Structure formats: structure tokens, C-alpha cells
Chain A
Amino acid sequence: MIRITDVVKDFDGFRALNHLNMHVPKGAIYGLVGPNGAGKSTIIRHITGVYRQDQGEVQIDGKAVYEDPAVKAKFAYIPDDIFYFTQANAIDMMKYYKGIYPKFDEQLFSALADCFPAVDVRRNIRSLSKGMQKQVAFWLSVCCRPELLILDEPVDGLDPVMRRQIWSIIMGDVAEHGTTVLVSSHNLRELEDVCDHVGIMNEGKILIERSLSDLQGSVTKVQAAFSGDMPKLPEGIEVLHKTITGRVHTLILKGEPNEVKSEMEAMHPLLLDILPLTLEEIFIYELGGVDYAVKDFLF
């Protein structure tokens, strides 16, 4: 759905995107993860056709996005900081979106009113709470009948109830229409629950991009205890991270969990646990290891 090839963007000598490559498959829920300043919002603004890249290509469905309304009509974009016209209410914004998006579904807008009971459509949106404003943004975006939903920090600053509600709207739309979703967030736990693809970004580059199952399968977290010192690990098992608490060794190892388990069992541990690795842990180990060239053995 989205293909970004060798994109470079400089801001006054600062390289915000550094030969970035990225691919979001059709129908995927793609989580874009990265620390502050990694370039997540910048690449999203390229994907939405707001910024023009200095180099490279940004394509949606094989077509360049920049200045192509037909391509841009395929997606709806919800930024972190949503803009609404001064004194506009939800109805005004709906009319505006209707005039902008060719596939805007006014009937759906009316039908979805029940899903947003807290939103007063006659009230100035800017006077609504941030959560309410986000709800209106999702409401409008869903009514655009987008093939692609681009969300920049969609639940940032919202309370847990509101977060769940927002994700429920997104997942509902995905389930119903097979919409592709590109979502950037700091909240890795939330992404882990909803994404099937993840791209980890740092310093204007995508470090890792793969499906969540592949990502989680490539690194294994092991807890093991031995009667004496831990024997030397077999050849071929590389340690990403290691901590020792008493006799218990916690290891982050490169490799598929079953393979790692069988290798470790051969070392006759008193205790052996293969623990699930959270996306947050992968993120931390990946970025924490950038300087130690950890990324090399993840591929």
C-alpha cells in the first residue's frame, strides 16, 4: 500500500530522514515506533503529501502522493495535533470534509452518531476536550471511506477509557473494510495489541521492519538457573542482553524460541523458562544496541 524508497529530507542542514525505506503491506496495521526525534511525524507528513522529499519516492498504491489528489483521497490522516476551523462544529466540519473527500459518506456520519454519544455536534469543536476532538477526527475520517488510515500518535494524551474507545473504532473499521492502518506511537504495549507489522525507526531510518510475529520470533527471552556457574552457551547462540539475579540468569538471545529452548535444555538447567518478549523490550534492546551493532544479528 505504502512504499517509501530512499527518502531523504533535510531541515536547514539537519537530516531528518536519512535514505529511509519503508513498506506497508495492503491490509496491514503497521505500527511505526521510534524515540522522539526519530522522524516518525516527518515521514508521515511525506506519506500524507504535506512535505516534499529532497530525494527518493513516496508512493501509495504505486503512485507518488505529492500533489496528487486522487492518491490523497485514498487516505484519511489524523495528526497528533488536530486542526479544526475556528468556531466550527462537527456538522460544519462534516460539510467541509464532504466537499473535499469524493467518497465522503454523509449517511455513515449520521449512522455513526450513536457511536459518539458524548460528542455534541452543534458545539464548537475547539471547546471540546482533547478526547472528544479525537473522536470527531475519527468519526470524520471513517466517513471518508479511506483505504488507508494514517494516525500520528492517535491516543496520546487520552485516558484509558478513551484509548480503548478509539482503538475500538479503528479495529472496527479495519475489520469491516480491510483498511490499511499506519499508526505511529510511543505506546509500544498498545501497538503490540493491535499491530501486525512494526517498523522501528531511529535517526531518520527504519532499523527494523517486519511482521510482529517475525520480530517476536527472532529474539527470545530466557530465564534459567544452573546448579553451579552457567555453562558456556553453544556456538551459534548470541546473547543480546544478560542479567544475573542470584542463580537466575535472564538472557535475551537471538533465535527462534523453540530452537533456543532445545539448545538451552541441552545445558541441563535446574530451571528453564522461555518468556514472551514484549514489543517494548524489542524496541529497547534494538535501539539500545544500535551503538553496539546489535541490529546486524537481528536480520
Chain B
Amino acid sequence: MYQFNYVRPKSLDEAVALLSKADDPKLLAGGQTLIPTLKQRLAMPSDVIDIGNLKELAFIKAEGNAITIGAGTKHYDVATSPDVNRHIPALAHLAANIGDPAVRHMGTIGGSIANNDPAADYPAACIALDAKIHTTKRLIEADKYFKGMFETALDAGEIIKEVTFPHPDKAAYVKFPNPASRYAMVGVFVSKGPWGIRVAVTGAGQNGVFRIKAMEDALTKNWSPDAVAAVKLPADGLLSDLHGSAEYRAHLITVMAKRAVAAAG
């Protein structure tokens, strides 16, 4: 690791102030991506601003027809939340299968979507559930938030405060995890709700999470695993690496989508 200044603000306001003052700062939430990145010297921030202990960012609120999750909430707390399990079990299931138990005790939802790793799980949930991302500056619709691999709509100096997930009528997330890292080789989140029907895919796209309109249309006509089974995807624009070719991932998307629709019931 390169040297850096470590600071631990006592409030979100203080974190924003520190962020604007520092030369080349990085926010540290759970650190399950950032610390390994720093260890490999793939990043050289001047300041590491640790917001991982901010109580004001760690909460789960069930209000009306939505659940709002503070950006600093750990995956373990989402996975075991009675409210999340009751209203959006697909989201609890997703959180329960990120990384391993020790990673889930540290990693946060805000860290995951701020980083926007193309193989992260949460981006698929945000897109499929029409989530609203609240930051220190504004509200961003999930559809307008994810801008490509490791790219988001966040400005420098903007911090995610919370994410609101409306209750779906039906939803499920199924992933094919890489056996070593547990990152999604392909993960498909399907949902049916006030927003219509959505199919969001993570792990496979060169530009990160994306929706499949052909599957959404097929499910609108006929909500069944067979409807998505008939939709084959081209390999164009999909990731190809030592874990799997673009063609393999294209095939996996249809298989995972089928399983997700079956799981959603």
C-alpha cells in the first residue's frame, strides 16, 4: 500500500467537507474492495476518509410501500433484516450471497453501488427494483445512475446517503458465482411491480449492469420461465475473460433468467 492520510469524520457533513478539501481522496466504507485495491497499489489516494462507522448511514427503514437502506448498512444486516425478508426477500437473498460471511460483515450497499464493479450484485437489484439513490446532493433514479464499468453518475464530493427500494409484486435474483471469488459471472434479477417488468443483468456486460428489453417484453406477454427461455442473446458487448467467454455468458444469461422467473413464482 502507498502512504495516505487516514481520517475518520464524525458526521456525514464533516465527510463532505473533508472530501472537498483533500487532494485526491477516497471514501472508505467497508473496504472489502478498496483495501485489496490499495494493497495491490492500484490506487494511490492522498486521503482515505473512513465513513464506515457513521451511525447515521447504517439503518433499514420500512415505510409505506418501500424499504430504505442506509448506504453504510452491511450486507449481513440487509440479509438478516426481518423487514427486507418480509417485503423484498429477493434482496435479502442477494445480500446473503455476496462474497463470504466475513466479507458480508464489512461490505456495504453504498460501497458496492459507488464502486459499480461490473460483477457486483447490488446494481442488478437497483435497476430491477427501480431504486432511488439519495445522495448528499440529490436523488438519482437507478436507471440514470450506473454509467458503465466502475462509472456512476456521482460527482466528486457527492456521497450516497441511502437507497430506496419499492416493494415488488414478484422478484428473484439468481447468480452463477465465480467459484473462487463468488462474484457474479452472470446474475439476473427479475421483477414485476408498479414499474412494470424488469430484467437486469450483472456480471456479464462490458459496461456493467444492463436490462434486456426482449425478455421484459416476453415476460409481459407471458410471465413464465419458458417465455425467457426463448430469448437468446448475442455475445456482442459481453465480457470475455479467463472465467468464461462472451458466448458462454450469453448462454448463462438465459439460463439464469429462466431460473429467476421460476424462483419468483
B is bound to A = no
